[in-house]
């Protein structure tokens, strides 16, 4: 009688082990796939929000002249004729001394200030509507960062 009990217990244990061997990997894989699905759904929601933001900005750029002028001024650096723009340039690495200048000073982008002034005057020649016409078929560039630099 005791021998039969142990045989039945061994068979039941073997069946349980076989079922665990079969189903545990698939349950683990199912949980992994569920977590990946949640992560991808979150990413889809973020991208949808970004698409909506870009569509709203596109609509503003196509319909609102004041917003268009603001974007052209901030991102492209254009000015109206007769305006003077002052840019503050901060020194990024204070441990390095500025290079010796011979009449013109260099900007962080390697241009002399006279070259920067001439490119600004070239931008001032174009009206905002001319810029819009030249950029009509390009996607709007979304940049919320504004870099302000000053000369030390």
Give pLDDT, residue 115. Answer: 42
Alpha-carbon span 93 to 101, nearest angstrom: 18
Among 7-11, 75-79, 134-138, 146-150, the minimum mean pLDDT is found in 146-150
Has residue 106 got a pLDDT over 50? no
Whether the full predicted model's pTM is greater than 0.75, yes or no, is no
| Highest-confidence segment of 44-48, 79-83, 84-88 | 44-48
Give pLDDT, residue 114. Answer: 44
Instruction: Name which of 152, 117, 132 is nearest 70 in CA terms.
Output: 132
Give pLDDT, residue 88. Answer: 81
The radius of gyration of the chain's CA atoms, rounded to the nearest angstrom, is: 33
pLDDT tens, residue by residue, 6-57? 899 999 999 999 888 888 888 889 999 999 999 999 999 999 999 999 999 9
SS3 106: strand
What is the band of 127 on the pLDDT scale with cuts at 50, 70, 90?
low
Has residue 83 got a pLDDT over 70? yes
Mean per-residue pLDDT over the chain, rounded: 74
- In sequence order, what are the beta bridge partners of 112? 106
Give pLDDT, residue 126. Answer: 60
Task: Give the count of beta carbons closer than 10 Å to the beta carbon of residue 68.
Answer: 19
pLDDT tens, residue by residue, 49-67? 999 999 999 999 999 999 9
């Amino acid at each position: 009688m005791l021998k039969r009990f142990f045989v039945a217990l061994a068979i039941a244990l073997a069946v349980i082990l076989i079922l665990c061997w079969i189903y545990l990997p698939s349950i683990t894989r199912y949980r992994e796939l569920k977590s990946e699905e949640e992560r991808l759904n979150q990413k889809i929601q973020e991208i949808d929000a970004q698409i909506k933001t870009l569509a709203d900005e596109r609509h503003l750029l196509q319909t609102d002249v004041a917003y268009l002028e603001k974007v052209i001024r901030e991102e492209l650096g254009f000015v109206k004729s007769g305006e003077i723009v002052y840019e503050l340039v901060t020194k990024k690495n204070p441990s390095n001394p500025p290079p010796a200048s011979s009449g013109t000073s260099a900007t962080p982008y390697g241009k002399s200030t006279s070259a920067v002034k001439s490119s600004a005057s070239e931008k001032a020649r174009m009206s905002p509507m001319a810029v819009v016409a030249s950029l009509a078929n390009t996607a709007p560039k979304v940049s919320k960062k504004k870099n302000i630099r000053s000369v030390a």
